């Protein structure tokens, strides 16, 4: 099974645009087509950002549904410790948590809309791709 780390911006976008590529990438996990890898730091950030008032106003999910979703993430995703120390790789230090989770969880992909991460292209064998590209890759893998 393909192992993937999804950046917080992918998850947030999936809760705003129900039929966008980000939602389809998240659906791949919900449909058990990929294994989602997160760390406690990623889960904490997702919880904080998804509950921002301005995000909730745009989201098609209610606050209760967001909390249930976060509970599902915590219980159904593969959780890595998030403790690996990396030398500075990207300009935006908070992005390191996605690289750490990917390395610790032996991920195949990081799905991100973040320019700082996407500039890397890959890191220690983990490909970094936007949601649309990831969906095309996943489609090829499932039909070959």
> Helix-strand-coil percent breakdown of the chain, rounded to 5?
55, 15, 30
User: What mean pLDDT is predicted for residues 4-31?
Assistant: 95
Domain of residue 67, residue span? 2-143
pLDDT confidence of 52, banded at 50, 70, 90?
very high
For the cut 60, the answer to whether the pLDDT of residue 4 exceeds it is yes
> Domain total for the chain?
1
- Residue 18 scores a pLDDT above 70: yes
User: Is residue 99 predicted with pLDDT exceeding 70?
Assistant: yes
Residue 144 pLDDT greater than 60, yes or no: no
- pLDDT tens for residues 64-88? 999 999 999 999 999 999 999 887 7
DSSP character string of 64-76:
HHHHHHHHHHHHH
DSSP 89-120: -SSSGGGHHHHHHHHHTT-SEEE---HHHHTT
pLDDT at 87 (0 to 100): 78
Q: Quick check: pTM over 0.85?
A: yes
Rounded to whole angstroms, how far apart are CA atoms 62 and 26?
17
CA dist., res. 139 & res. 132, Å (int): 11
> What's the CATH code of the domain at 102?
3.40.50.1010
Q: Work out the percent of the chain whose per-residue pLDDT is above 90.
A: 80
Phi, psi of 114 (to 5 degrees): -80, 125
């Amino acid at each position: 099974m393909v192992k993937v780390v999804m950046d917080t911006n992918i998850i947030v976008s999936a809760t705003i645009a129900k039929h966008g590529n980000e939602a389809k990438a998240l659906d791949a996990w919900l449909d058990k087509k990929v294994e989602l890898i997160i760390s406690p730091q990623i889960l904490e950030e997702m919880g904080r950002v998804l509950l921002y008032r301005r995000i909730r106003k745009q989201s098609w999910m209610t606050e209760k549904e967001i909390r249930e979703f976060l509970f599902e993430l915590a219980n159904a995703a593969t959780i890595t410790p998030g403790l690996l120390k990396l030398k500075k790789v990207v300009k935006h230090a908070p992005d390191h948590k996605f690289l750490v989770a990917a390395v610790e969880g032996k991920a195949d992909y990081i799905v991100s809309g973040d320019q700082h991460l996407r500039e890397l292209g890959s890191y220690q064998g983990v490909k970094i791709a936007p949601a649309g590209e990831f969906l095309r890759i996943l489609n090829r893998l499932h039909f070959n």
